[in-house]
Structure 1
Amino acid sequence: MERVNISSEVEAIFTFKWKSEFGLHEENYFCKINVWRDLDLLPEKLKEQLMGRENGETFSVFFKGGELFPYSDENIIEVESKQFNPPKPFKLLKPRLGRFYPLGFFQGLAGVFSVNCSPARIIGIDNEKSKLTIDTNIPIAKYDVNLTIFIKKIVKELSEIGGECKNWCLLPLETGPGMQVRFDGIVTDFEFDNSERFKREDETEDSIFYKEPRITTHIDSQCNENLIELYNRILPREVKCLIF
């Protein structure tokens, strides 16, 4: 039986579960871990649990708020309103309370370049002083997270030819989960009141596209397999679904 070792490539399903004041949340992510390359980027107690595991095994690791990703009040920053300077395609954007923007939209921050897409939420607007307050913490950072890992497949690596190191805990969580939760009562602004944001490039009637049968999938086979497993787990057997 193949076990996870330093030369392995591991296909795994990462399931992150966390609880906010508004409900229970679950994020599922398919990972392809090159152990030799990626191991040092994983949290220490996850590394200890991963090594030596077999195909089909499942294990869990619990992280307290701030343990998986640091959370600090120092990451809540006051900036001048003029520092909100989106690139040319987004020049007409105005800062909105509760809305997330790429951190690179804010000029003059130490170590931050215009291509930085990390989420930054505006949590204060002072028009009299021309100031903005932004939260640059990873949105999920302050919440407890329970990570369950299912070892789907272990492949023996025959040779190492380099490649990109990946932090498989950071990748699924740094730009999405937690954004929906309010900050000290400030509702996240998804611009639901702005109909322009929801216009399609092609407003042609959908019925024209679906006039002829189109038997195809828009996701890869692994994603399709993961969805089937998820639906089997959360949907009652007797349920009738109109569409997925």
Structure 2
Amino acid sequence: MTAICTDTLANVHFRLHWEEHDICHEDRFYAQNVNMWRDYFPGELGKALTGLEKGSSIRVPFMPGIHLPCRDEGKVQRVSRSSFKPGMTGIVPVRGRFYPQGVLRGLPGIFPQNINPFRVIDMDETTLTVDLNHPLAGVHAELDIAALDVWAKTAEFGGQCQDWICALTDGPGLKRKPAQGMDFGLGRPLDKPLGGNDAAFYSTPRKVAHVDSQARAVIEGIYASLLTGKKRILDLMAGWQSHLPHGVTASGLGMNAEELADNPALSTFLVHDLNANPVLPYGEGSFDAVVCSLSVEYLTRPVDVFREVARVLEPGGLCVMVFSHRWFPDQAVRIWTELHEFERVAMVAQMFRLSGRFQGLHTLSERGWPRPMDARDRYYPMIQHSDPVHAVWGWVNA
């Protein structure tokens, strides 16, 4: 078999595993046409890749100072609040949130075009304490490298050098929970920027595919890995697609009866508006799993709903929230639209935490896959990459 070397190209799947504050994180990235002659890999990762054949994999340590920056306390600085100048009205600093470094004025080495993130870790009436470290600085992790395909080059024309590890680590650190906590406003009902009546919006069936077919396959794979043996599943905020593995059925709770009736994965369904009434119309312990696909961003009282989810789950029952970066613009809550996609992972994890009913939290993010050619996909070929998929799950306290 052909092995990865400087005379080959390869499609490689990276899976970064790390744990912090009792949450297990996994960040996956698909790297297409990896070229060992041209692309950059820090430390010994190039050697680890060399020699892998199609279908083989290896796990290596992923260390600060080699693959990630070390944490530098000198990059934690106190600045005047007047130095925070986002250039857009309505954007204010919030403890625990990330912003582009370019919104800070007067700091050496930072220019307005700088989009590298920094975090506000503390604040008072006159000052901000900001952390300019890489969001994953200091994290100890493990990296799985799998060769999905390897083939010999027919020619070498040069081209752009890729830093695949930079691509893998660009974003995941934004879901880290700071010691000082994060403020997503979950202690009060969340507002929607365009307001509107949910019942009126969903009175019309909206049978659109929210993500592309590759992303849908990723979601199905997540559910397949987590729902083994589960027989009493609730599809929360369901529509005409459940993204469940073939042959798996569920009870559905959604907003449009026509969509729910057309969903082949639903054995039964109820119409219910969770924003009008977060109480689920089921008894305690009715289900052993609850899934929610591409809809958590519409909840205005998410913590109340998560507590209800815990109530209708049996002890040790599983709750899985899956989402992407596409939604109905006039239905998502305002803060969701203002966050980086990895901050949304942190926000959903915070919903689990604040409910006080879940343990064993995990997050998973999958990015980088090529977007399949699909005449029904309005974004192809304008967008070349598949929609990212993020998931957060946990189990009800036994």
Q: TM-score range by the shorter chain?
A: 0.7 to 0.9
Aligned equivalent of 2:145: 149
After superposition, the Cα gap between the structure-2 partners of 1:178 and 1:109, relative to the gap in structure 1 and judged at 3 Å, is same
Code of the residue aligned with 1:186 in structure 2: it is Q
Aligned equivalent of 2:290: none
Aligned equivalent of 1:166: 162
Cα drift, residue 120 of structure 1: 0.7
- Provide the identity percentage: 22
Q: Which secondary structure does the structure 1 equivalent of 2:202 belong to?
A: helix
Cα drift, residue 231 of structure 1: 3.3
After superposition, the Cα gap between the structure-2 partners of 1:82 and 1:157, relative to the gap in structure 1 and judged at 3 Å, is farther
- Distance in structure 2 (CA, Å) of the matches to 1:153 and 1:227: 22
Q: Which secondary structure does the structure 2 equivalent of 1:170 belong to?
A: helix
Counterpart mapping for 1:70-109 below 5 A: 70=69, 71-87=71-87, 90-109=88-107
- Distance in structure 2 (CA, Å) of the matches to 1:92 and 1:212: 32
Cα drift, residue 30 of structure 1: 1.5
Aligned equivalent of 1:8: 8
Q: Which secondary structure does the structure 2 equivalent of 1:44 belong to?
A: coil
- Distance in structure 2 (CA, Å) of the matches to 1:162 and 1:113: 32
The answer to whether the aligner puts 1:137 opposite 2:133 as a matched pair is: yes
Choose between structure 1 and 2 for higher RCO, CA contacts under 8 A separated by at least 6 residues.
1
For residues 162-187 of structure 1, give each alpha carbon's deviation from its aligned partner in whole angstroms, at most 9, with x where no partner exists.
443332222232323353312xx311
Aligned equivalent of 2:34: 34
Q: TM-score, normalised by structure 2?
A: 0.52
CA contact (8 A) 1:138 1:174 kept: no
Aligned equivalent of 1:48: 47
Cα drift, residue 200 of structure 1: 5.5
For residues 79-109 of structure 1, give each alpha carbon's deviation from its aligned partner in whole angstroms, at most 9, with x where no partner exists.
222211102xx23322222221111111233
Counterpart mapping for 1:217-228 below 5 A: 218-221=211-214, 223-228=215-220
For residues 114-165 of structure 1, give each alpha carbon's deviation from its aligned partner in whole angstroms, at most 9, with x where no partner exists.
23222211112243xx332211112222221111112111233333444433
Cα drift, residue 220 of structure 1: 4.7
Q: Which secondary structure does the structure 2 equivalent of 1:13 belong to?
A: strand
- Distance in structure 2 (CA, Å) of the matches to 1:10 and 1:80: 49
Aligned equivalent of 2:18: 18
After superposition, the Cα gap between the structure-2 partners of 1:224 and 1:13, relative to the gap in structure 1 and judged at 3 Å, is farther
Code of the residue aligned with 1:9 in structure 2: it is L
CA contact (8 A) 1:85 1:91 kept: no
Aligned equivalent of 1:234: 226
Cα drift, residue 34 of structure 1: 2.7
CA contact (8 A) 2:122 2:180 kept: no
The answer to whether the aligner puts 1:120 opposite 2:115 as a matched pair is: no
- Distance in structure 2 (CA, Å) of the matches to 1:17 and 1:23: 11
Q: TM-score, normalised by structure 1?
A: 0.81
- Distance in structure 2 (CA, Å) of the matches to 1:198 and 1:189: 17
CA contact (8 A) 2:8 2:35 kept: yes
The answer to whether the aligner puts 1:189 opposite 2:188 as a matched pair is: no
> Unmatched 5+ residue regions in structure 2?
236-241, 243-292, 294-398
- Distance in structure 1 (CA, Å) of the matches to 2:213 and 2:155: 26
Number of residue pairs the alignment of both structures matches: 234
Cα drift, residue 212 of structure 1: 6.1
- Distance in structure 1 (CA, Å) of the matches to 2:8 and 2:191: 45
CA contact (8 A) 1:97 1:125 kept: yes
- Distance in structure 2 (CA, Å) of the matches to 1:165 and 1:48: 17
Deviates more, 1:49-58 or 1:78-87: 78-87
After superposition, the Cα gap between the structure-2 partners of 1:86 and 1:217, relative to the gap in structure 1 and judged at 3 Å, is closer
- Distance in structure 2 (CA, Å) of the matches to 1:78 and 1:37: 44
After superposition, the Cα gap between the structure-2 partners of 1:187 and 1:64, relative to the gap in structure 1 and judged at 3 Å, is same
- Distance in structure 1 (CA, Å) of the matches to 2:143 and 2:32: 16
What is the alpha-carbon root mean square deviation over aligned residues?
2.8
> Unmatched 5+ residue regions in structure 1?
none
